[in-house]
Amino acid sequence: MNLREALEECLRRRPFIEEALSEDLINLSSLARLIRTDIEHLTGKEIKESAVVMAIRRREPRLQLKMQHKLQQFIGSLGDIIVRSNLVAYTFKKTP
How many C-beta atoms surround the C-beta of residue 21 within 10 A? 19
Distance CA(24)–CA(45), nearest Å, equals 28
User: Do 48 and 61 meet the contact criterion of CB atoms below 8 Å apart?
Assistant: no
Task: Report residue 91's pLDDT band, with 50, 70 and 90 as the boundaries.
Answer: confident
pLDDT digits (tens, 9 = 90+) for 27-45: 999 999 999 999 999 999 9
Task: Report residue 71's pLDDT band, with 50, 70 and 90 as the boundaries.
Answer: confident
What pLDDT score was predicted for residue 64? 63
Q: What is the mean pLDDT of residues 9-20?
A: 86
What pLDDT score was predicted for residue 21? 84
